[in-house]
Structure 1
């Protein structure tokens, strides 16, 4: 049955938009409840269907591909096509924004999914003249970029995609060019900054102890704080700090378990970087500076109680925090003494 609906999708994509939409829905009905292996087989076939599609069909096919990845499909077969499609749409959307500002002298319109709005925008950009295909293509890219972005952000929650992303520099440059005019790129910006297989030294100033870790796939410093506490606090392991680690449910919410938006995670430490500055939980691990080859985090005593909602920013992104070794006392002491003491700012 899955092979049949995929065959119908391939034919419909070359026919008309309405048929393509129905065929995509049929694929999802068959594969949406299937296992990861079936989703991967479907995505392998879908990954070869992007070439030559009109922008609207390509972006909708990308959304279907992202949905299959959320079902557990290996994204690899569709990564090049989704990246290429996103970049093509981003380039055209950037040109649309430039022309709009020149012609209309206003910020570009909200890219809402509404045919009447699209036609009104095309007419206004054309300035009363008939709109040619090139202008309509630019406007379509502006309106469809969000769908490509949705797919790309889903793909980037997989570590293998982040570490092997094709045309990464072009994607980063295109995001930078659009950030001032598009307000739906924040998640993409954050995912492009996610660290993977990153060395981190964690130091405890009161006890003079330290640990070397490898971290990856962490969306923000709230999550980092939770996972450091889970990794380095123990009531029984004398290699670690004595203390009560987060609960199993809190750790699950920060890794790959059910999200608990109403759960309150209590801060265990005051986090300071290797240059002596407060590490804001609202930031991301990439904000932590590299000092002598590693990102350094000091676990200082907690000055005031802080709580936040247990969870993770990206539901499909599975983090890793691996304890590599315990630093010897001399190495830890040298690292700790090298961190300057800077007055901590008040929390905003």
Structure 2
């Protein structure tokens, strides 16, 4: 067998040609070369290789398809065009989640029990017999599709392009989690990231309100720090203002910096909103996310940073609300419930 040229670029070209020709033997050998050469790939090979591999994903056999998707995600993390790679990877993700959901149903219908733990190989004969090959592969490869998809969903344009598909995928994923007892938290949170949504924050101790808008915030730890920067650092309310370093790592600077809590995050009904949750947990009131900020129940500290290190986050304070407008929003708010834990 003669390969076109050495290196990752050559491996991509050979794999692409073998897949299109449906040459199983050559596909297998070039698949191995893809993995062997990726670590030494040059920038231009990664930029070109990601979209080329994504374009043939649908034609790759089910077993190795998820591994190729992970390579596409790795190319995106190193600069390949996420929007060009997105259609192939997100289509593969949908097939995997749908397969895993079908697997969960079939597993329950054939006696239930603990879900098999995926390994580096393919599903065993008993697993395939109980659920069917496509469903078993969906479950077997879902972790790999999670890695690949999150790499692409780090990009706002990809999230925007996915649109309502993200809600459908989240529903399927939630069903899989409930049935299997396993969590796919990174994928679940990535599917819930909000961009450009309005947020009204009511600071109960001062009786003031603020209109904000957030983008690319992965969890409420990150939101908490950015809220403290906008409202306390901006001189609007009293409390602990995070340092510029603490804020920077919550936007786009790599790393983590220790911080402390500035607020208690509370839903309009008085229930606590956990820092471990995400902004999608904040209830909608009249089409707007409505958040109440109380004094911290006790001192808490954590490493400030981003749940998704590759995703840029931001929170923009648009304006302080007028007193009458603030009063109208406070009309939707119940007294805070006792906070414990």
Unpaired segments ≥5 residues, structure 1: 128-133
1:21 aligns with one of 21, 28, 32: 32
1:62 aligns with one of 54, 69, 73: 69
Provide TM-score, normalisation by structure 2.
0.84
Question: Closer, same or farther in 2 for the Cα pair 1:300/1:100, shift >3 Å?
Answer: closer
1:10 aligns with one of 7, 11, 16: 16
Does 1:329 find its partner at 2:323?
A: yes
Per-residue deviation, residues 250-275 of structure 1 (Å, max 9, x unmatched): 11222222222xx4311112222333
Task: Tell me the residue number matched to 1:174.
Answer: 172
Question: Closer, same or farther in 2 for the Cα pair 1:98/1:342, shift >3 Å?
Answer: closer
Contact 1:274 1:298 in 2 (8 A): yes
Task: Tell me the residue number matched to 2:3.
Answer: none
Alignment of 1:91-170 (within 5 A): 91-103=98-110, 105-114=112-121, 118=123, 121-123=124-126, 126=129, 135-165=132-162, 167-170=165-168
Contact 1:206 1:300 in 2 (8 A): yes
Per-residue deviation, residues 169-211 of structure 1 (Å, max 9, x unmatched): 5423431332222625222122222221110112223333322
Question: Closer, same or farther in 2 for the Cα pair 1:269/1:177, shift >3 Å?
Answer: closer
Question: Closer, same or farther in 2 for the Cα pair 1:308/1:107, shift >3 Å?
Answer: same
Per-residue deviation, residues 73-117 of structure 1 (Å, max 9, x unmatched): 2211121111221222333334444444444642220112246xx
Question: Closer, same or farther in 2 for the Cα pair 1:122/1:142, shift >3 Å?
Answer: farther
Q: Distance in 2 between matches of 1:153 and 1:255?
A: 18
Provide TM-score, normalisation by structure 1.
0.83
Contact 2:167 2:191 in 1 (8 A): no
2:249 aligns with one of 243, 250, 253: 253
Structure 1 residue 151 displacement after superposition? 0.6
SS at match of 1:241: coil
The number of aligned residues is: 328
Question: Closer, same or farther in 2 for the Cα pair 1:182/1:8, shift >3 Å?
Answer: farther
